[in-house]
Chain A
Amino acid sequence: MGTLKHYADRFAPLLAFVGVLLAWEAACRLFAIPAFVLPAPSAVIASTTEIGAGRWVQHLLATVQIALIGYLVAILLALPLAVMITHSRLLSRTLLPWLIIIQSTPIVAIAPIIVVTLGAGMLPRVVITTLIAFFPLVIATATGLASVPDELLELSRSLRASRSREYWQIRMPYAVPHIFSALKVAITLAVIGAVVAEFVAAEVGLGYLILFATSTFKVPMAFAALTLLVACSLLLYGVIVLAQRLLCPWSLGKEAGQ
């Protein structure tokens, strides 16, 4: 009986997934739901042949490229900012309101303005992606840097170590679990940012494809693009999880809030 339970444990998520797909397919056929309201999974799959595989790859790569560049820029901005915020009260008081203003601005509302200001091309898309991804990174990193126990900081002081060693050898590594939780949140946000940017101004990308497909009532194709987007988001998330497992195994299970 133990093995049965083992198999149930292992395959339950997969079975549930297949079950939902089947129920969905059955419902669409049974109630004859029009494809522009809710396309059946089979219709979604069939729609993928409407454009060539090369085009799909092109759209996918365009979105992933924007998401990753925006993500990297967000990381490069967030880490020094977080250090500044924890380093001095004055800087923290000066910078935090700006960060909160940026975070409180709905990205969808500001995206068209950014496109108008920065013109077409990659730059506005990267900026939009960065804007949405970097706030959780700054906050989590700053929280991590500040969460170091007093005793460790006193140990550092009792050794008369330099401030930079305190950051590199104590605070930064201490923040790693926090940074990784934020990296996971930020990668999904980066994909959202890339799609929002493509909604506003783009001629390629999965976001653009969804917009184009729905505007011409090719709803099954929009669903196909959406599925690809979700898969891509999950894959990127998985890469971060894997990176954490390989690079910082000690930090697993110690993320903030887990």
Chain B
Amino acid sequence: MGNVIDLTRVCQTFVSSDGSPVTALQDVDLGLRKHEFVSLIGPSGCGKSTVLRLIAGLLKPTAGTVSIFDRPVTEPRDEIGVVFQKPTLLPWLNVLDNITFPMRHKYGHVDAKDTERAQALLSTIGLADFGRKRPGELSGGMQQRVAIARSLLHDPDILLMDEPFSALDALTRDEMSFELLRIWSERPKTVVFVTHSIQEAILLSDRIVVMSARPGRVAEIIDVPLPRPRSLATLSDPVFTALANDIRVKVFTRKPE
């Protein structure tokens, strides 16, 4: 296979609070190659977050298999970093301690190397002087950057990001997108990126997975033939615009009737 992540005929059924079953995912097949940047896009409730949680090992599929490096996922793994939709920082820790929190939480202690690396990450995300500040003193966008730095602390091979920029304004979003691309090109990793923004998906991704809802399926996988590195100029590339229109039509017509 040679894929980093493989989902084979994955079905996921939840029991809703009234006892009736909800099929969140139905026969999802998906293969992600090494160091590939893939976006998941689709209507609300189509199972994007569920796909991430399956890959993260936080959820066991009802049917089918999820494997990473050709081994089935049975529990969360070390080589994965997760960025949740909300920043989810710990309000009682300062920014630096928040970034090293995974180490403290997993191993019970933080060594000098982790702190050094956290400091370097802080510079990368442009918050070098904010290490001693508490999350409450940061803007939403800054907090999300810290959450991203936290997920990068152990330099994971796989990065799972669930709408990480959804709380940000358009300008900060673009800025963060380029920042993410820079981090990704410096330390290549396989990224699964959930978004509601078609623009964002095109700008970032090698491939875009369009999902449909009820039940959640992979409707289409679209290659993004735009050259890298991408920049602000990419946004006005005719290929970009054409692709955006194309995907908009696809996502729109896939909406449940």
Contacts and interface: CB of A to CB of B under 8 A. Distances in A.
Interface of A: 149, 151-152, 154-161, 165, 169-170, 173-174, 176, 248, 250-251, 254
Contacts of A250: 91-92, 134, 136
Contacts of B106: 159-161
B56 interface: yes
Contact of A155 (B85, B88, B134): B88
Given A154-B53, A165-B105, A169-B105, 4 more contacts: A155-B105, A158-B57, A159-B102, A173-B90
A174 B93 CA distance: 11
B105 A161 contact: yes
A13 to B, nearest CB: 29
A253 to B, nearest CB: 9
A99 B101 CA distance: 36
Interface string B72-111: 0001100010101110101110000000011011101000
A149 B53 CA distance: 16
7 smallest A-B Cβ distances: which pairs? Answer: A151-B84, A151-B88, A158-B76, A159-B106, A161-B105, A173-B92, A250-B92
A154 B108 CA distance: 18
Nearest to B88: A151
A156 B105 contact: yes
Given A159-B105, A160-B75, A152 B91 contact: no
Interface residues of B, number: 23
A157 B58 contact: yes
Contacts of B105: 155-156, 159, 161, 165, 169-170
24 contacts: A149-B88, A151-B85, A152-B88, A154-B53, A154-B56, A154-B58, A155-B88, A155-B102, A157-B76, A158-B56, A158-B80, A159-B76, A159-B102, A160-B76, A160-B106, A165-B105, A165-B108, A169-B101, A170-B105, A173-B90, A173-B92, A248-B92, A250-B134, A251-B92
Nearest to A248: B92
Given A173-B92, A248-B92, A155 B82 contact: yes
Contact of B90 (A161, A165, A170): A170
Contacts of A157: 58, 76
A173 B89 CA distance: 12
A180 to B, nearest CB: 12
Interface in B20-78: 53, 56-58, 75-76
Contacts of A251: 91-92
A146 B3 CA distance: 39
A161 B58 CA distance: 13
A149 B76 CA distance: 19
A128 to B, nearest CB: 35
B88 to A, nearest CB: 4
B100 to A, nearest CB: 12
Contacts of A152: 88, 90
A141 to B, nearest CB: 16
A159 B108 CA distance: 12
Nearest to A152: B88
A151 B101 CA distance: 14
Contacts of A173: 90, 92
A97 to B, nearest CB: 23
B83 to A, nearest CB: 10
B162 to A, nearest CB: 9
Interface in B145-161: none
Contacts of B57: 158
Contacts of A254: 91
B92 A154 contact: no
Nearest to B56: A158
Contact of B84 (A154, A160, A165, A174): A154
Contact of A154 (B82, B101, B102, B136): B82
